[in-house]
C-alpha cells in the first residue's frame, strides 16, 4: 500500500511539473473551457460572509482563492496549499498582490495547521490526485472549525447518455491536443484515466460521510461533467 501511494505521488508530481506553465490552458482543454464558470458556481454556493476564513488545497494557479477573496472584499484570511513545487511558485506569483493570501507547500494528507482553524475548506480538481483520499478528508475535517464547510469541485460522472457519448469521444483526442500544447501526451493520458477511474457522485458522497462529515449534498454541473460536493463539520 505504501509503495502504491509513493508511486502515485511521484506520478502526479511529474504530471504537474510538465504542465504547470500552461495549467490554465490545460483546464480549458479538459473542461471545454467552462471550468471558470464552474468555479464561480462553487463560490456562489459557498456564499462566504465577511471575515470567513478559507483553506484552499491543491490551489494550482489560485483561481478559487482569488474568487473567494474578491467575494469578501479581500478581507478574508486565506491559506493556499499546493504540493507541487512548480505550481506553488506559479500560484504564489499570480496572487502576490493579495496580501490576505498566504501560500504553503504541503500535501492534503498532512496539513501544517492547528485543529479547528478555518470556516471553509475547498479542493478544486485536486481530490482525485491525492495519494490517500481518506486521510485527506480526515485532515480537512480536522482543520475546519465546528460548523465549518467542506467543498469539493471535481470531474464526475455524466448523467446524460448523449452528452456522455460526445465527451467520451472528445476525451480520446485530448492527449493529442495536450501533446501540441505542452509537448507531451502523457500528462493528459493520466488525467483522462484518473477521471474515468474516479468515484461517482454518490460514491464520493459516501466517502465524505464515512470520514466524519454531515449533511452531504452535491450539485451536478453541465450534466455531471463536473460536480460540487458539500459537507459540514458538526
CATH number at residue 221: 3.40.50.150
Rounded to two decimals, the pTM is 0.91
Residue 1 has pLDDT above 50, yes or no: no
Residues 54-58, mean pLDDT to the nearest whole number: 98
The answer to whether 83 and 108 are in contact (CB under 8 A) is yes
For the beta carbon of residue 65, count every other beta carbon within 10 angstroms: 28
CA dihedral 109, 26, 22, 67 (to 10 degrees): -70
Instruction: Give the pLDDT of residue 11.
Output: 75
H or E element at residue 103: strand 101-104
Res. 120 pLDDT band, cuts 50 70 90: very high
Alpha helices in the chain (DSSP H): 2-19, 23-31, 35-46, 63-71, 85-94, 133-143, 161-182, 186-197, 201-210
Q: How confident is the model over 68-112, as pLDDT tens digits?
A: 999 999 989 999 999 999 989 999 999 999 999 999 999 999 999
List Cβ neighbours of 103 (8 Å cut-off, separation of 6 or more).
Answer: 59, 79, 80, 81, 82, 88, 91, 92, 95
- Supply the pLDDT for residue 94: 92
pLDDT at 192 over 80: yes
Domain count, the chain: 1
Nearest residue to 25 (alpha-carbon basis) of 134, 174, 192: 174
Q: Which residues contact 80 (CB under 8 A, 6 or more apart)?
A: 56, 59, 62, 65, 91, 92, 95, 101, 102, 103, 104
* 201-233 pLDDT per residue, tens: 999 999 999 999 999 999 999 999 999 999 999
Average pLDDT of span 127-138 = 96
**If DSSP codes are grouped into helix, strand and coil, which group holds residue 229?**
strand
Averaged pLDDT score across all residues of the chain? 90
Mean local confidence (pLDDT), 157-166: 95
| Domain extent for 110 | 2-232
The winner for highest mean pLDDT among 140-144, 164-168, 182-186 is 140-144
Nearest to 88 by CA among 118, 109, 67, 57: 57
Amino acid at each position: 500500500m505504501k509503495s502504491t501511494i509513493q508511486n502515485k505521488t511521484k506520478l502526479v508530481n511529474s504530471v504537474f511539473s510538465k504542465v504547470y506553465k500552461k495549467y490554465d490552458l490545460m483546464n480549458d482543454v479538459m473542461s471545454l473551457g467552462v471550468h471558470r464558470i464552474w468555479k464561480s458556481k462553487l463560490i456562489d454556493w459557498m456564499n462566504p460572509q465577511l471575515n470567513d476564513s478559507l483553506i484552499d488545497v491543491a490551489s494550482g494557479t489560485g483561481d478559487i482563492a482569488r474568487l473567494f477573496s474578491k467575494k469578501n472584499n479581500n478581507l478574508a484570511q486565506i491559506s493556499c496549499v499546493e504540493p507541487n513545487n512548480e505550481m506553488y511558485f506559479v500560484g504564489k506569483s499570480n496572487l502576490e498582490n493579495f496580501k490576505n493570501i498566504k501560500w504553503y507547500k504541503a500535501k492534503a494528507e498532512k496539513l501544517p495547521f492547528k485543529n479547528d482553524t478555518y470556516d471553509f475548506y475547498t479542493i478544486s480538481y485536486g481530490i482525485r490526485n491525492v495519494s490517500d483520499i481518506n486521510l485527506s478528508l480526515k485532515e480537512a475535517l480536522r482543520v475546519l472549525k465546528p460548523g465549518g464547510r467542506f467543498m469539493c469541485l471535481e470531474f464526475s460522472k455524466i448523467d446524460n447518455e448523449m452528452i456522455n457519448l460526445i465527451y467520451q469521444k472528445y476525451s480520446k483526442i485530448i492527449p493529442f491536443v495536450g501533446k501540441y500544447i505542452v509537448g507531451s501526451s502523457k500528462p493528459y493520458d493520466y488525467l483522462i484515466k484518473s477521471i474515468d477511474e474516479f468515484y461517482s457522485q454518490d460514491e464520493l458522497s459516501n466517502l465524505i460521510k464515512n470520514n466524519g462529515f454531515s449533511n452531504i449534498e452535491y450539485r451536478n454541473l453541465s450534466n455531471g461533467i463536473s460536480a460540487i460536493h458539500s459537507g459540514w463539520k458538526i
